[in-house]
Amino acid sequence: MPRPRVHDLDALLDVAERLAASSSEVTVRGLAAAAGVPNGTIYHAFGSLSALLARVWLRAATAFLDLQTSLVDQAASPVEAVVAAADAPAAFAAVRPDGARMLLEVRGDRLFGPELPDELADALHAVDKRLVALLVRLARQLWDRGDGLAVDVITTCVVDLPTAFFRRDITDPLVRARLAAAVRAVLTVPPREKDRP
């Protein structure tokens, strides 16, 4: 008969998220001390530190994409949908600051490395596919195109600009307003036409 679980694993993931947001170097010893659990709890529950950190990333990325998709769904126009998608990191930071900071400042593969169980690797790949599907959806709503040239413009608006703007201050309303203005400006220049075969 297995021993009953004594520690709250969600609380452990919360502590790991906080540590990952403040430093990309998370160790078993540091996490165990911060969470007030024995080192063995981490290995017993997750198998490895990499697997635990991948779960932390996956949990935050899924919650972020859920919020981002919801904001896009509520937008009044295709342009405002892109603006809402770009502003999603700030909206996410309002409810989950550590998760937002981690996603914005720490590359996932640097946090948990390439060696992961297939189940986690597949789940992370599915999150990437969800993001790409959202980018394609936005491009189609704006220009009735889902090709790479159109998606590149949306990526500039939804990934590149927020990363650049929000690294300074994700909570400043002026930064959010400037980002929205920059996104609207980028969208005034349509994507390059596809080359004809």
84-133 residue pLDDT tens: 999 999 999 999 999 999 998 887 777 777 778 889 989 999 999 999 99
Whether the pLDDT of residue 11 is over 90: the answer is no
Are 53 and 20 a contacting pair, CB within 8 Å?
A: yes
Write down the pLDDT at residue 196. Answer: 56
Are 3 and 41 a contacting pair, CB within 8 Å?
A: no
Task: Assign 3-state DSSP to the chain and report helix, strand, coil percentages, each to 5.
Answer: 75, 0, 25
Mean pLDDT of the chain: 90
pLDDT tens string 26-68: 888 999 888 888 888 888 888 888 898 999 999 999 999 999 9
Are 179 and 86 a contacting pair, CB within 8 Å?
A: yes
Between CA 185 and CA 195 the distance in angstroms is: 25
Write down the pLDDT at residue 22. Answer: 87
Of the CA atoms within 13 Å of residue 80, those in its CB half-sphere come to 7
The candidate with the shortest Cα–Cα distance to 124, out of 32, 192, 61, is 61
Write down the pLDDT at residue 58. Answer: 94
pTM metric for this prediction? 0.88
Lowest mean per-residue pLDDT among 19-23, 82-86, 94-98, 136-140: 19-23
CA-CA distances (angstroms) from residue 29 to 54, 151, 153?
17, 42, 43
The candidate with the shortest Cα–Cα distance to 12, out of 52, 67, 66, is 52
Write down the pLDDT at residue 27. Answer: 86
